[in-house]
């Protein structure tokens, strides 16, 4: 079979997204890229909060506001249905959709959907196989469970900001909302695991994802540095706590990244700079020694690197297998030949012909390629289409009960 004719890996999976802003929609977009039918439930009055988080805004050819660029960064591939959850009619629609879905993603505050009868305990009664993913700031239990969670605050609470920034400067957050994004990615992993369990056993479950859990866990070696030593890591700017030299270094026309990971690379770098004797000095010969004398190492190196141009030092290091790299702007990143060769930028055509740019998923599968069929939807763009499909599925299910012919989709279970 031609690879272009193969279905993406999650084709046939239906996802109901009751999520706003970033963590939940990021998970939904990843699932849509992998072929799931993601139905985004939006408030008829304005839709997702991020639709107005601009400028910049995406405009159609005739000048119509198609929502903020922020919204389009995390909602491609979905269909939008406008539903007022405060009404009995709206709640009934969600229950009907949940009954025919495999996955539900929500990021309401703890108990926020219970008052509508749309919490996990309520919906598993209408669909026992449902994988119900709840994304909150602090999880479904614990002293902070009822509090709203925000990416920026969680970056601070997790310890991340205490290790980010210059040693004598303010603690710094990341340049993007990494607590939200990491949580969305972890949520997709958990959802797929729960889906496999549901397919094997017929049993759904609730997935409990918390921003603080995720952001705390991804501190990786810094967590272990503390757990083993008992000493909290501190801000080191662009330096690495366990490796030296592994940092941004100056050249006479800017900066580059030097990522020396072993003693051989350090010796070769010293040879490039004409200071081989530094690599022979017992204070700098091993990584352990260099970490202990990191300030001296930096001083010795930068005294020489500032004599080089960025292009010349990058080329020399490349020829000698010393890991270095440029510090690109986002514009330069999109012009990088490797990024272009990998096709990271994609352009999707809306129903009115407007071309909306985006960035593809970093996931590449050889046999079940991901799908990029549509850009982010307008509020309620697919309401009539989705309700018509739902009516047809329910009618088919009703006929099955009368005739014994199995219907399609989750109702078949």
CA distance 277 to 162: 36
**Is 33 considered catalytic here?**
no
Q: Is the dihedral of CA 393, 396, 402, 406 positive or negative?
A: negative
Whole-angstrom Cα Rg for the chain: 26
Where does 237-344 show beta strands of DSSP type E? Answer: 246-251, 254-259, 324-326
* Contact by Cβ (8 Å): 189, 26: no
What are the two backbone dihedrals, phi and then psi, of residue 36, each rounded to the nearest 5 degrees? Answer: -70, 150
Contact indicator for 137, 148 with CB cutoff of 8 Å? yes
DSSP states of 331-351 = HHHHH-HHHHHTT-EEEEE-T
Tokens, residue 114: 């219970």
Provide the 10 A C-beta neighbour count for residue 55.
Answer: 7
**H or E segment to which residue 167 belongs:** none
Cis amide bond preceding 55, omega within 30: yes
Q: What angle do CA 73, 78, 84 make, to 5 degrees?
A: 105
Cis peptide before 245 (omega within 30 of 0): yes
The CA distance from 18 to 15, in Å, is: 10
User: How far, in Å, CA of 70 to CA of 58, rounded?
Assistant: 10
Burial zone of 123 (CB within 10 Å; 0-12 exposed, 13-18 middle, 19+ buried)? buried
Residue in 37, 180, 213, 281 annotated catalytic: 180
Answer yes or no: are the C-beta atoms of 155 and 149 closer than 8 Å: no
List residues with catalytic annotation.
180
């Amino acid at each position: 079979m031609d690879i272009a004719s193969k279905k993406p890996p999650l084709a046939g999976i239906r996802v109901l997204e009751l999520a706003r802003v970033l963590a939940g929609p990021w998970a939904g977009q990843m699932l849509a890229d992998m072929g799931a039918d993601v139905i985004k439930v939006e408030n008829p009055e304005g839709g997702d909060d991020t639709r107005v988080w601009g400028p910049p805004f995406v405009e159609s050819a005739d000048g119509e506001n198609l929502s903020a660029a922020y919204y389009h960064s995390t909602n491609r591939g979905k269909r939008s249905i406008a539903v007022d959850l405060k009404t009995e009619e709206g709640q009934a629609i969600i229950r009907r959709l949940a009954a025919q879905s495999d996955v539900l993603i929500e990021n309401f505050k703890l108990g926020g959907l219970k008052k509508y009868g749309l919490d996990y305990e309520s919906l598993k009664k209408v669909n026992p196989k449902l994988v119900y993913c709840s994304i909150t700031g602090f999880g479904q239990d614990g002293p902070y469970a009822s509090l709203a969670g925000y990416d920026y605050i969680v970056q601070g609470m997790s310890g991340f900001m205490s290790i980010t920034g210059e040693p004598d400067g303010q603690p710094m957050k990341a340049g993007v909302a990494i607590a939200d994004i990491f949580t969305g990615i972890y949520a997709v992993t958990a959802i797929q695991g729960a889906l496999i369990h549901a397919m094997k056993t017929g049993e759904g479950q609730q997935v409990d994802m918390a921003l603080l859990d995720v952001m705390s866990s991804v501190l990786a070696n810094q967590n272990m540095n503390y757990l083993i030593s008992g000493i909290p890591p501190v801000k080191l700017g662009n330096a690495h706590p366990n490796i030296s030299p592994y940092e941004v270094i100056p050249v006479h026309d800017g900066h580059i990244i030097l990522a020396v990971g072993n003693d051989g690379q350090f010796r070769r770098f010293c040879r490039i700079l004409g200071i081989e004797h530094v690599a022979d000095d017992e204070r700098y010969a091993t990584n352990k020694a260099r970490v202990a004398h990191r300030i001296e190492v930096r001083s010795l190196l930068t005294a020489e690197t500032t004599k080089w141009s960025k292009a010349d030092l990058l080329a020399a290091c490349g020829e000698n297998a010393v890991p270095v790299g440029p510090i690109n702007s986002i514009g330069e990143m999109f012009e990088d030949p490797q990024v272009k060769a990998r096709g990271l930028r994609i352009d999707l055509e809306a129903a009115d012909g407007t071309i909306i740019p985006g960035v593809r998923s970093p996931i590449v599968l050889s046999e079940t390629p991901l799908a990029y069929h549509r850009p982010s939807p307008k509020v309620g763009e697919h309401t009539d289409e989705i309700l018509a499909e739902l009516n047809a599925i329910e009618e088919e299910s009703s006929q099955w009960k009368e005739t014994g012919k199995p219907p399609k989709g989750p109702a078949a279970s």
